[in-house]
Protein backbone atom coordinates (compact mmCIF):
# COMPACT_ATOMS: atom_id res chain seq x y z
CA UNK A 1 0.00 0.00 0.00
CA UNK A 2 2.83 2.41 0.85
CA UNK A 3 4.45 1.91 -2.53
CA UNK A 4 1.12 2.54 -4.27
CA UNK A 5 0.85 5.86 -2.43
CA UNK A 6 4.37 6.82 -3.53
CA UNK A 7 3.54 5.94 -7.13
CA UNK A 8 0.31 7.96 -7.09
CA UNK A 9 2.02 11.03 -5.60
CA UNK A 10 5.00 10.81 -7.97
CA UNK A 11 2.73 10.33 -11.00
CA UNK A 12 0.62 13.32 -9.97
CA UNK A 13 3.70 15.50 -9.61
CA UNK A 14 5.00 14.31 -12.98
CA UNK A 15 1.68 15.07 -14.68
CA UNK A 16 1.66 18.56 -13.16
CA UNK A 17 5.16 19.13 -14.53
CA UNK A 18 4.01 17.95 -17.97
CA UNK A 19 0.95 20.22 -17.92
CA UNK A 20 2.97 23.31 -16.98
CA UNK A 21 5.62 22.44 -19.57
CA UNK A 22 2.90 22.15 -22.23
CA UNK A 23 1.56 25.60 -21.33
CA UNK A 24 5.07 27.08 -21.59
CA UNK A 25 5.68 25.43 -24.97
CA UNK A 26 2.33 26.68 -26.24
CA UNK A 27 3.10 30.24 -25.12
CA UNK A 28 6.32 30.38 -27.16
CA UNK A 29 4.81 28.64 -30.19
CA UNK A 30 6.79 25.41 -29.87
CA UNK A 31 5.32 21.94 -30.50
CA UNK A 32 4.22 19.94 -27.48
CA UNK A 33 6.61 17.26 -26.23
CA UNK A 34 6.85 14.46 -23.73
CA UNK A 35 7.89 15.57 -20.23
CA UNK A 36 11.38 17.12 -20.32
CA UNK A 37 11.91 15.89 -23.88
CA UNK A 38 11.57 19.26 -25.63
CA UNK A 39 14.41 20.48 -27.86
CA UNK A 40 13.88 24.24 -27.77
CA UNK A 41 16.43 26.47 -26.03
CA UNK A 42 13.83 29.13 -25.27
CA UNK A 43 14.58 30.58 -21.78
CA UNK A 44 10.93 30.53 -20.69
CA UNK A 45 10.60 26.81 -21.39
CA UNK A 46 13.98 25.93 -19.89
CA UNK A 47 13.48 27.89 -16.66
CA UNK A 48 9.89 26.68 -16.31
CA UNK A 49 11.20 23.14 -16.63
CA UNK A 50 13.86 23.68 -13.97
CA UNK A 51 11.42 25.23 -11.53
CA UNK A 52 8.85 22.48 -12.05
CA UNK A 53 11.43 19.74 -11.51
CA UNK A 54 12.17 21.13 -8.04
CA UNK A 55 8.48 21.69 -7.31
CA UNK A 56 7.82 18.06 -8.27
CA UNK A 57 10.49 16.85 -5.83
CA UNK A 58 8.98 19.00 -3.08
CA UNK A 59 5.49 17.68 -3.81
CA UNK A 60 6.78 14.12 -3.42
CA UNK A 61 8.60 14.98 -0.20
CA UNK A 62 5.61 16.72 1.43
CA UNK A 63 2.60 14.91 -0.06
CA UNK A 64 3.88 11.35 0.43
CA UNK A 65 4.10 11.45 4.25
CA UNK A 66 0.80 13.34 4.41
CA UNK A 67 -0.89 10.67 2.28
CA UNK A 68 0.55 8.00 4.59
CA UNK A 69 -0.75 9.76 7.69
CA UNK A 70 2.68 11.02 8.78
CA UNK A 71 3.33 14.64 9.62
CA UNK A 72 6.05 16.03 7.32
CA UNK A 73 7.91 17.33 10.40
CA UNK A 74 7.99 13.81 11.87
CA UNK A 75 9.27 12.47 8.55
CA UNK A 76 11.96 15.14 8.60
CA UNK A 77 13.05 14.14 12.10
CA UNK A 78 13.23 10.50 11.04
CA UNK A 79 15.33 11.33 7.98
CA UNK A 80 17.67 13.59 9.96
CA UNK A 81 17.79 12.21 13.51
CA UNK A 82 19.73 13.93 16.24
CA UNK A 83 22.33 14.08 17.58
CA UNK A 84 24.02 14.55 14.24
CA UNK A 85 26.59 11.75 13.66
CA UNK A 86 29.38 14.12 12.69
CA UNK A 87 32.14 11.53 12.91
CA UNK A 88 30.32 9.09 10.61
CA UNK A 89 29.48 11.89 8.18
CA UNK A 90 33.14 12.92 8.08
CA UNK A 91 34.26 9.32 7.53
CA UNK A 92 31.76 8.79 4.69
CA UNK A 93 32.68 12.08 3.01
CA UNK A 94 36.42 11.45 3.28
CA UNK A 95 36.16 7.89 1.96
CA UNK A 96 34.38 9.05 -1.19
CA UNK A 97 36.35 12.27 -1.64
CA UNK A 98 39.86 10.84 -1.25
CA UNK A 99 39.11 7.57 -3.06
CA UNK A 100 37.66 9.44 -6.06
CA UNK A 101 40.51 11.97 -6.08
CA UNK A 102 43.09 9.17 -5.99
CA UNK A 103 41.34 7.48 -8.91
CA UNK A 104 41.71 10.61 -11.07
CA UNK A 105 45.33 11.01 -9.97
CA UNK A 106 46.03 7.40 -10.97
CA UNK A 107 44.47 7.93 -14.40
CA UNK A 108 46.63 10.99 -15.00
CA UNK A 109 49.80 9.19 -13.89
CA UNK A 110 49.24 6.16 -16.16
CA UNK A 111 48.08 8.28 -19.09
CA UNK A 112 44.38 7.36 -19.07
CA UNK A 113 43.53 11.04 -18.58
CA UNK A 114 45.32 14.35 -18.95
CA UNK A 115 45.05 17.76 -17.33
CA UNK A 116 43.53 20.21 -19.80
CA UNK A 117 41.60 23.17 -18.33
CA UNK A 118 38.23 23.67 -20.03
CA UNK A 119 36.52 26.97 -20.93
CA UNK A 120 37.97 30.47 -20.64
CA UNK A 121 39.57 31.34 -17.29
CA UNK A 122 36.72 33.61 -16.12
CA UNK A 123 34.07 31.07 -17.13
CA UNK A 124 36.01 28.26 -15.49
CA UNK A 125 36.36 30.27 -12.28
CA UNK A 126 32.62 30.95 -12.13
CA UNK A 127 31.86 27.30 -12.78
CA UNK A 128 34.30 26.27 -10.06
CA UNK A 129 32.56 28.52 -7.53
CA UNK A 130 29.23 26.88 -8.43
CA UNK A 131 30.87 23.47 -7.91
CA UNK A 132 31.40 24.39 -4.26
CA UNK A 133 27.80 25.53 -3.82
CA UNK A 134 25.78 22.99 -5.82
CA UNK A 135 26.61 19.43 -4.69
CA UNK A 136 25.14 19.61 -1.17
CA UNK A 137 21.63 20.87 -2.08
CA UNK A 138 21.54 18.53 -5.09
CA UNK A 139 22.55 15.52 -2.99
CA UNK A 140 20.11 16.46 -0.22
CA UNK A 141 17.15 16.73 -2.60
CA UNK A 142 17.89 13.54 -4.53
CA UNK A 143 18.63 11.51 -1.41
CA UNK A 144 15.49 12.78 0.30
CA UNK A 145 13.39 11.54 -2.63
CA UNK A 146 15.11 8.29 -3.59
CA UNK A 147 16.33 7.12 -0.20
CA UNK A 148 14.16 9.03 2.28
CA UNK A 149 10.91 8.34 0.43
CA UNK A 150 11.26 5.55 -2.12
CA UNK A 151 13.77 3.25 -0.40
CA UNK A 152 12.21 3.86 3.02
CA UNK A 153 8.74 2.85 1.82
CA UNK A 154 10.14 -0.21 0.04
CA UNK A 155 11.84 -1.26 3.28
CA UNK A 156 8.60 -0.79 5.19
CA UNK A 157 6.63 -2.79 2.61
CA UNK A 158 8.98 -5.80 2.53
CA UNK A 159 9.59 -8.30 5.32
CA UNK A 160 12.62 -7.47 7.46
CA UNK A 161 15.54 -9.53 6.19
CA UNK A 162 18.87 -8.94 4.47
CA UNK A 163 17.49 -10.38 1.23
CA UNK A 164 14.55 -8.00 1.10
CA UNK A 165 16.74 -5.09 2.17
CA UNK A 166 19.03 -5.83 -0.76
CA UNK A 167 15.99 -6.10 -3.06
CA UNK A 168 14.68 -2.74 -1.86
CA UNK A 169 18.05 -1.12 -2.54
CA UNK A 170 18.20 -2.67 -6.02
CA UNK A 171 14.67 -1.55 -6.95
CA UNK A 172 15.16 2.00 -5.68
CA UNK A 173 18.50 2.19 -7.49
CA UNK A 174 16.87 1.13 -10.76
CA UNK A 175 14.35 3.95 -10.39
CA UNK A 176 17.12 6.41 -9.47
CA UNK A 177 19.09 5.49 -12.58
CA UNK A 178 16.05 5.61 -14.87
CA UNK A 179 14.97 9.03 -13.58
CA UNK A 180 18.18 10.59 -14.86
CA UNK A 181 17.24 9.70 -18.44
CA UNK A 182 13.73 11.16 -18.51
CA UNK A 183 15.32 14.43 -19.53
CA UNK A 184 17.35 14.48 -22.74
CA UNK A 185 20.61 15.37 -21.01
CA UNK A 186 23.36 13.24 -22.54
CA UNK A 187 23.22 13.50 -26.36
CA UNK A 188 25.70 11.42 -28.27
CA UNK A 189 26.40 9.02 -25.41
CA UNK A 190 25.11 5.46 -25.08
CA UNK A 191 22.46 5.02 -22.44
CA UNK A 192 23.25 1.65 -20.90
CA UNK A 193 26.74 2.32 -19.57
CA UNK A 194 25.83 5.61 -17.82
CA UNK A 195 22.64 3.94 -16.54
CA UNK A 196 24.75 1.14 -15.10
CA UNK A 197 27.06 3.68 -13.44
CA UNK A 198 24.13 5.49 -11.83
CA UNK A 199 22.65 2.18 -10.73
CA UNK A 200 25.75 0.95 -8.90
CA UNK A 201 26.48 4.26 -7.20
CA UNK A 202 22.84 4.44 -6.11
CA UNK A 203 23.23 1.02 -4.52
CA UNK A 204 26.17 2.48 -2.58
CA UNK A 205 23.96 5.34 -1.36
CA UNK A 206 21.28 2.84 -0.41
CA UNK A 207 23.80 0.83 1.58
CA UNK A 208 24.85 4.00 3.39
CA UNK A 209 21.21 4.74 4.17
CA UNK A 210 20.77 1.35 5.82
CA UNK A 211 24.14 1.42 7.61
CA UNK A 212 23.31 4.86 8.97
CA UNK A 213 20.16 3.63 10.68
CA UNK A 214 17.89 4.63 7.78
CA UNK A 215 18.82 8.29 8.03
CA UNK A 216 19.99 10.58 5.23
CA UNK A 217 23.18 11.87 6.82
CA UNK A 218 25.55 9.30 5.30
CA UNK A 219 24.12 9.02 1.76
CA UNK A 220 24.07 12.80 1.45
CA UNK A 221 27.73 12.98 2.51
CA UNK A 222 28.72 10.32 -0.04
CA UNK A 223 26.58 11.80 -2.80
CA UNK A 224 27.81 15.36 -2.28
CA UNK A 225 31.46 14.26 -2.21
CA UNK A 226 31.06 12.24 -5.41
CA UNK A 227 29.30 15.06 -7.27
CA UNK A 228 31.89 17.60 -6.13
CA UNK A 229 34.89 15.56 -7.31
CA UNK A 230 33.31 14.67 -10.66
CA UNK A 231 32.14 18.20 -11.40
CA UNK A 232 35.49 19.80 -10.50
CA UNK A 233 37.35 17.18 -12.54
CA UNK A 234 35.23 18.00 -15.58
CA UNK A 235 36.75 21.50 -15.55
CA UNK A 236 40.36 20.29 -15.67
CA UNK A 237 40.59 16.64 -16.76
CA UNK A 238 40.07 15.05 -20.18
CA UNK A 239 39.70 11.27 -20.48
CA UNK A 240 41.97 9.45 -22.93
CA UNK A 241 41.31 5.78 -22.15
CA UNK A 242 38.38 3.76 -23.54
CA UNK A 243 34.98 4.35 -21.96
CA UNK A 244 34.73 0.74 -20.81
CA UNK A 245 37.80 1.37 -18.64
CA UNK A 246 37.29 4.90 -17.26
CA UNK A 247 33.66 5.64 -18.10
CA UNK A 248 32.58 9.13 -19.14
CA UNK A 249 33.31 12.54 -17.64
CA UNK A 250 29.82 12.68 -16.08
CA UNK A 251 29.85 9.00 -15.12
CA UNK A 252 33.37 7.81 -14.24
CA UNK A 253 31.84 5.10 -12.04
CA UNK A 254 30.42 3.46 -15.18
CA UNK A 255 33.88 2.23 -16.24
CA UNK A 256 35.70 -0.80 -14.90
CA UNK A 257 37.97 1.20 -12.59
CA UNK A 258 35.08 3.30 -11.30
CA UNK A 259 33.04 0.16 -10.61
CA UNK A 260 35.90 -1.24 -8.54
CA UNK A 261 36.11 2.08 -6.70
CA UNK A 262 32.41 1.90 -5.78
CA UNK A 263 32.91 -1.63 -4.45
CA UNK A 264 35.93 -0.54 -2.38
CA UNK A 265 34.01 2.42 -0.93
CA UNK A 266 31.16 0.09 0.02
CA UNK A 267 33.57 -2.26 1.81
CA UNK A 268 35.19 0.67 3.60
CA UNK A 269 31.78 1.90 4.77
CA UNK A 270 30.86 -1.50 6.17
CA UNK A 271 34.19 -1.77 7.98
CA UNK A 272 34.51 1.78 9.30
CA UNK A 273 30.92 2.71 10.14
Query: How does pLDDT run across 44-101, given as a tens digit for each residue?
Result: 999 999 999 999 999 999 999 999 999 988 999 999 999 999 999 999 999 999 999 9
**pLDDT tens digits along 212-240:** 999 999 999 999 999 999 999 999 999 99
Query: Which residues on neighbouring strands pair with residue 114, listed in sequence order?
Result: 238
**Distance (Å, whole) CA 36 – CA 47:** 12
CA-to-CA dists, residue 231 to 101, 119, 214, angstroms: 12, 14, 27
Is the backbone peptide bond immediately before 47 cis, with ω within 30 degrees of 0?
no
Q: Classify each residue of 160-187 as buried b or exposed e, where b means 16 or more C-beta atoms within 10 Å of its C-beta.
A: eeeeebeebbebbbebbbebbeeeeeee
Nearest residue to 174 (alpha-carbon basis) of 199, 156, 147: 199
Amino acid sequence: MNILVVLVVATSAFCLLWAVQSVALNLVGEPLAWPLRFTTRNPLVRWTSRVMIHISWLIILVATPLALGIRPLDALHQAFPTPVPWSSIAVAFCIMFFASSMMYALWIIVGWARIEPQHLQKTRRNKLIRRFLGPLPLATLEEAVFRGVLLEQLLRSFPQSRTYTALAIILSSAVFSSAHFVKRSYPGKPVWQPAYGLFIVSRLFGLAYVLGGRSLWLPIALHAAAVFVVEVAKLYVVFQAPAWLVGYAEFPQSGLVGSILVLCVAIALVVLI
